[in-house]
Structure 1
């Protein structure tokens, strides 16, 4: 059995790098694979979402994947607080006890009380979050969806969770933009897009507050939101429409013309080239997968130009321009809210492609609206199952009694944490 041993904090980038290396060196299908987290000091929530997709894909191919649990109970508690065992079972159909190596079954049934969990306490810098954790707000939530009949119920249900008075208050106190935009322009737009992915049977959401106190006792850090579905890749969905000769641009949306600094890197992170892409660019069958994925964020690009499945949700939001309700505007609204309203960044992972979108750095002047980093992973690495969206919003809160918090304007430059 081949083993991937994680001895550092398990970020999704580190895990993918080690998976990439082991597949590059393997001449045959890896029938048995062990993830050894025994000495791992921390597991990122995005990493857990990646593992769910990866292990589910291997299960579909009847390949065996095992996990060696961390020696540290604090790290094992991360899996419990975010309900990872159940989320993995819901996606893969395999009980967690069959994935964990037998000698680690001794850890099953350990004390599960929030007050005794280090990592649950580390994110409870606002005592009101205790209730949210106890109700599994941040944990993996799995929704079963009908891949044949489009229904927005899941999007409305998840949106209402984020409109809870308590969570809205917490978001309003710690994020840069209006709390209503989180539910209506981020969660809702992300979920309605996800529900359109063909053959998706489930969608999972999770989130994580990761605060850091500075020397003046102010809170910094970021809030991460993850949405994953097991459907056909966004890339293939749009490419299939192009191959069928379908029109994929519903409107030119000239008033929302956007310029992107598109930076392409190889699987080792080495820059291959960079170029300027405008949102008036129309993809064709010769368009690369990396660029095709980016165009899905352009205003007016959609496989549903007639708007048959378009759903609007402006409840509790400010007045929304009518053009926002046109087909193909959802992902544009989502990216705009994440980057320009909240000062964060957004990433997509599907097939063997990763793209990250954030505000263009000041040194580029006013030549670009967004900087996009795109990576194409090794051809030996199995294609990522489904579509994973990772959103990171910077946290700000001042606790220093002698320092008056600065008012943060929506258009203020921020320094988001890199994905």
Structure 2
């Protein structure tokens, strides 16, 4: 059983899973107990969906115990968690909850109010968007290329509304049109790169003030999880096939200062023209996935390719993502793949990128990948 109290954060989920490393493979019924939860980080919910999906891939059922706190239940409904869980599990949400919690189904709830929210015009616009369910979880079944196109178009449209753009303009660094044009587009397009994906969930959350957990500063969070083959699995399979994942040299070389946890890097800094070999570790493969020209795809027939072709076919998606999220918006990009975790930031434009890369063998291996962008809120 995983049991959560108060604000459910990413660190809470990781801590629970470390104390129960067999959760995703234990044949006993898996219970995720949210009965004492009061609030949620949206990425923590993605981690729980991924753990549930991993159990499902092992033929093991998972059940949820819903919050006893009514506003917390309302957050889960407003964020469309029941639908996301249902799509990820492939069964109705009623079959995923404790029998006693069926009494909560169909209850009348007051308008959603976010605890501890800021005051002022930005908070009013945020409340307007929250009530209209602009944030939370959007789950998609990935059946064919059309479903991916539908996901990408729908998610981009969510961030182009007038009220949303006005709020982001007053809250973020950078050009807010790039949220839909680059950040959301590249997050959704990343799903295309993962073979065997059948489910994708896009998550978003905007906090104008700090919440209870110390690791949750005010930020716009946008993330995507899919249940396909992970980044590290995909690149390693390609390395076995052809001995390299480098299909084009980068047009510009960036430097990454690596802070390693749980593994021994070959160097303290890596350049983006570095090409991992067959003996590269999972953390190194995860780092290399950021580098332009690194891809599971085949090399282009001619080196004379356009910028658009590079972006689509030559491993430039995560490059465009971190250039926008880190450089333009002063934010971070996080990748979670198997037991490898990477967090990318940059102190100043003149500094190398700072990559905190960890191999956490105490964590169970999650299904698929999670790519997370967190963009800090600037002062009004």
TM over 0.5: yes
Please point out which of 299, 321, 344 is paired with 1:357.
Answer: 344
Counterpart in 2 of 1:11?
A: 9
Counterpart in 2 of 1:285?
A: 278
Counterpart in 2 of 1:66?
A: 63
Counterpart in 2 of 1:201?
A: 198
Partner SS state of residue 2, structure 2: strand
Query: In the aligned structure 2, how far is the partner of 1:61 from the partner of 1:169?
Result: 45
1:154-206 Cα distance to aligned partner (Å, 9 max, x none): 32332233222332222222110101111111111121121221011122112
Query: In the aligned structure 2, how far is the partner of 1:246 from the partner of 1:149?
Result: 32
The 3 A distance-change label for structure 1 pair 387 and 287 is same
Please point out which of 345, 349, 352 is paired with 1:369.
Answer: 352
Partner SS state of residue 367, structure 2: strand
TM-score normalised per structure 1: 0.79
The 3 A distance-change label for structure 1 pair 121 and 213 is closer
1:327-383 Cα distance to aligned partner (Å, 9 max, x none): 221111101111110000011112121111111x46xx95x521111222226x432
Counterpart in 1 of 2:287?
A: 294
Mapping for residues 1-400 of structure 1, pairs under 5 Å? 3-23=1-21, 29-114=26-111, 117-119=112-114, 122=117, 125-146=122-143, 152-212=149-209, 221-245=218-242, 247-254=244-251, 256-266=252-262, 275-306=268-299, 327-359=314-346, 361=347, 368-378=351-361, 381-398=363-380
Query: In the aligned structure 1, how far is the partner of 2:148 from the partner of 2:39?
Result: 37
Query: In the aligned structure 1, how far is the partner of 2:132 from the partner of 2:96?
Result: 26
Query: In the aligned structure 2, how far is the partner of 1:72 from the partner of 1:62?
Result: 31
In structure 2, the gaps of 5 or more residues are 212-216, 302-306
The 3 A distance-change label for structure 1 pair 284 and 221 is same
In structure 1, the gaps of 5 or more residues are 215-219, 309-319, 399-419
Quote how far apart the aligned CAs of 1:123 are.
7.3
Quote how far apart the aligned CAs of 1:92 are.
0.6
1:247–1:303: 8 Å Cα contact kept in structure 2? no
The 3 A distance-change label for structure 1 pair 86 and 303 is same
The 3 A distance-change label for structure 1 pair 149 and 108 is closer
Quote how far apart the aligned CAs of 1:305 are.
4.6
1:280-338 Cα distance to aligned partner (Å, 9 max, x none): 21011100001101101012111225469xxxxxxxxxxx8997567221111101111
Query: In the aligned structure 2, how far is the partner of 1:147 from the partner of 1:229?
Result: 14
Root mean square deviation, CA, Å: 2.9
Quote how far apart the aligned CAs of 1:392 are.
0.5
